[in-house]
Amino acid sequence: MPDPEPSPPRHVFVYGTLRAGGSNDIRRYRPTPQWVGQGSVPGTLYDLGAYPGMALGGEGRVIGEVYMVSADVEAALDRLEEVRDDDAGEYRRRTVRVPVAGVGDVNCLVYEIHPDRVRAAAVIVGGDWIKHRLAGG
């Protein structure tokens, strides 16, 4: 019996510690995710201390990066983000269209924070986790 076809690569939008230079820099995963470009999505970014969480939608924008990842990396990201099949994990998997300069709109996996986790969290004005951390936030 032939080996099953590998899962096709998928795009992921990262906005927090998985961004380049972040504490969980996505480029440390193997096989190495392929950079696609920068983008932003409608949403609100919250400060949860050592990492952020994003709620999709609304008037604000969240800044991030788009990468193409293998199924193995996607599975590792699911574990990192504590995704659960019953949607009760820390993050929930969502799909969003992300405009990327020079590329166009890209369908991306994004990890949205569970609403219960941000009830008392501060909003990160400007939606950029890296700038927020560099500014001492």
Decide if 3 is inside a domain: no
- Comparing CA positions, the residue from 88, 91, 67 lying closest to residue 18 is 67
Rounded-to-integer distance, Cα 19 and Cα 87, Å: 24
Decide if 124 is inside a domain: yes
**What residues make up the domain containing 117?**
10-134
pLDDT recorded at residue 20: 97
Decide if 1 is inside a domain: no
pLDDT recorded at residue 36: 98
Adjacent-strand bridge partners of 97: 107
DSSP the chain: -PPPPPPPPEEEEE-STTSTTSTT-GGGSSSPPEEEEEEEEEEEEEE-SSSEEEEEEEEEEEEEEEEEE-HHHHHHHHHHTT--TTS-SSEEEEEEEEEETTTEEEEEEEEEEPGGGGTTPEE-TTS-HHHHHHTT-
Number of structural domains (the chain) is 1
Question: What is the mean pLDDT of each successive set of 10 residues along the chain, which is 137 residues long?
Answer: 66 98 96 97 97 96 98 96 92 97 96 94 97 92
| CATH label of the domain that carries residue 95 | 3.10.490.10
pLDDT recorded at residue 4: 57
Decide if 5 is inside a domain: no
Decide if 66 is inside a domain: yes
Decide if 2 is inside a domain: no
Decide if 107 is inside a domain: yes
Decide if 51 is inside a domain: yes
